[in-house]
Amino acid sequence: MRGLAGSTGKLGKALIVIQVALSLVLLLGAGLLARSFRRLCAVDPGLQESVLEVTLYPRPGGYQDLDVNSYHRQLLERISSLPGVDSVGFSDISVGGGQGWRDTVSTMSADSRAGVDLMAIGAMVSPGFFQTLGVSLVRGRDFDWRDDEQHPRVAIVSNRLAERLFPSGNALGQRIRFGFMPELQDLEIVGIARNARIFDLRNAAALAVYLPYLQHPKFTQQGDLFVRAKQAPEALARSVGHQIEMFGREYPLRTKTVGQEISRALVEGRVTALLAGFFAALALLLASVGLYGLMSYAVTRRTREIGVRMTLGAQPATVLWAVLREALALALFGIMLGIPCALAASRLIASMLFGLSPNDLPTVAAVSLLLLSVALLAGYLPARRASRIDPMVALRMESGE
């Protein structure tokens, strides 16, 4: 049987094909973002999410004539003495906030085979910081209160950075330089910390250099306090804030748990995925409505012809398949046109994806099958109507009887 939509013209068919292709582009983008977001939510950050994080903000004149090291040590000791507190730490970074400064790090030893400078994140931390956040040390020791300005400069590096700088595996005791400041040119590695998503939830193996803030007080006046509790952390928030205010130097600007901070960092990805899904669904709806309208128009215009063919012996199943075949052909043309366009467009969102390639084949296959299913449904309703046409009624309508 000749194509039932043949009389609707090439323009109508072309518009449907373009709609299907554009729907595929949007569906693939939305699918990639949705799958990426689900994977990101399922990631283990490698941190104690129940830890209370308090952002400190200076009072007017609060840092004037302040001995930073002495103040922070007294503050940490005071809070650690509160009932229910397990450990306390301080740092100039916020979990998941992308903070810390970035600079080049290189070895001062000829033992390294890296031969190039690596870009790493720097963070000032206090003794107890790693224990509080639940980040274990792979080798070496943690910082202690003796790591101050009167003692040799030391550093703890992330496991990934140690592997990159010293492939032979003997990073402990080696010396590195970080950036260009004189006080960071000869740092002894005293510990190697397990890789953790402290700086960026998307990066499990960030290259990081941790420095004891006691040795660099001029860089660590303001920062965040981390409190690990034996009970619900929210119950300690008021007591911790009261202790901070008692010193008269800072305000507890914001109090939240590490888990809440991680959820906040995921908001952008969640909103992006929802918006992409909305526009993809809208495009899919428009494509299905257009295809349905085209096939309905074709069936209406050719009612008499269908009636004649059925009078001459055409089976309803033959008529049904003829309409469905036309709808599926248009959808397939649109998908064939849309796949290369979608793959090219998906590269624009490659930086927003997590654990997925822009050319992820399962996602491409899933959205293609979805489009075919929608096309089948959009074509089935007019096809069923065509297959149920009464030949005699169709002939009378056409003759005006």
Q: Which residues contact 400 (CB under 8 A, 6 or more apart)?
A: none
Q: Are residues 73 and 200 in the same domain?
A: yes
Q: What is the pLDDT of residue 58?
A: 86
User: What is the per-residue pLDDT across 48-82, written as a single tens digit (0 to 9) for each?
Assistant: 878 888 888 888 887 788 888 888 888 888 888 88
Q: Are residues 154 and 68 in the same domain?
A: yes
> Which residue type does 186 have?
D
**Within a domain: 355:** yes
CA distance 116 to 114: 6
**Within a domain: 118:** yes
Q: What is the pLDDT of residue 1?
A: 45
- Taking residues 100-126, report their average pLDDT: 75
Q: Are residues 207 and 66 in the same domain?
A: yes
Sign of CA dihedral 165, 354, 224, 138: negative
Q: Are residues 98 and 209 in the same domain?
A: yes
> Which residue type does 43 have?
V
| Mean pLDDT for the chain overall | 79
CB 190 within 8 A of CB 141: yes
Q: What is the pLDDT of residue 155?
A: 92
Percent of the chain with pLDDT over 70: 83
Range of the domain at 234: 60-248
Given 214, 248, 282, which residue is the final one in a domain? 248
**Within a domain: 12:** yes
**Within a domain: 259:** no
pLDDT confidence band for 157 (50 / 70 / 90): very high
Q: What is the pLDDT of residue 119?
A: 87
User: What is the per-residue pLDDT across 193-249, written as a single tens digit (0 to 9) for each?
Assistant: 988 888 877 777 788 899 998 888 777 777 888 998 877 777 788 888 888 888 888
Q: Are residues 214 and 301 in the same domain?
A: no
* pLDDT exceeds 60 at position 42: yes
User: What is the per-residue pLDDT across 255-297, written as a single tens digit (0 to 9) for each?
Assistant: 888 888 888 777 777 787 788 788 888 877 877 787 777 767 7
CA distance 120 to 123: 10
247 closest CA partner among 20, 53, 86, 58: 58
* pLDDT exceeds 70 at position 112: no
Task: For 289-310, give the DSSP string.
Answer: HHHHHHHHHHHHHTHHHHHHHH
Q: What is the pLDDT of residue 197?
A: 82
Q: Are residues 366 and 336 in the same domain?
A: yes
Q: What is the pLDDT of residue 320?
A: 66
Q: What is the pLDDT of residue 156?
A: 92
134 closest CA partner among 298, 287, 271, 257: 257
> Which residue type does 246 have?
M
CA distance 234 to 229: 9
Q: Are residues 162 and 203 in the same domain?
A: yes
Q: Are residues 16 and 152 in the same domain?
A: no
Task: For 257-282, give the DSSP string.
Answer: EHHHHHHHHTHHHHHHHHHHHHHHHH
* pLDDT exceeds 70 at position 314: no
Q: Are residues 235 and 273 in the same domain?
A: no
Task: Give the angle 262-75-212 at the CA atoms, nearest 5°.
Answer: 70
* pLDDT exceeds 80 at position 370: yes
Torsion of CA 244, 246, 250, 253, to 10 degrees: 50
Q: What is the pLDDT of residue 400?
A: 46
CA distance 253 to 250: 9
Q: What is the pLDDT of residue 50?
A: 82
How far, in Å, are 48, 154, 175 from residue 140 at the CA level?
21, 12, 14
Domain count along the chain:
2
Q: Which residues contact 381 (CB under 8 A, 6 or more apart)?
A: 292, 296
**Within a domain: 50:** no
Given 218, 248, 278, which residue is the final one in a domain? 248
Q: What is the pLDDT of residue 12?
A: 73
* pLDDT exceeds 50 at position 2: no
Q: Exposed/middle/buried for 130, CB within 10 Å: 0-12, 13-18, 19+? A: buried
CA distance 139 to 46: 17
Q: Are residues 327 and 380 in the same domain?
A: yes
Lowest mean pLDDT among 127-131, 141-145, 324-328, 332-336: 324-328
CB 11 within 8 A of CB 324: no
**Within a domain: 261:** no
Lowest mean pLDDT among 111-120, 174-183, 343-352: 111-120
Q: What is the pLDDT of residue 210?
A: 92
Please tell me the number of Cα atoms within 13 Å of 242 on its side-chain side.
6
CA distance 202 to 355: 9
**Within a domain: 254:** no
pLDDT confidence band for 399 (50 / 70 / 90): very low
**Within a domain: 371:** yes
pLDDT confidence band for 192 (50 / 70 / 90): very high
Given 248, 279, 312, which residue is the final one in a domain? 248
Q: Are residues 85 and 205 in the same domain?
A: yes
Q: Are residues 158 and 66 in the same domain?
A: yes
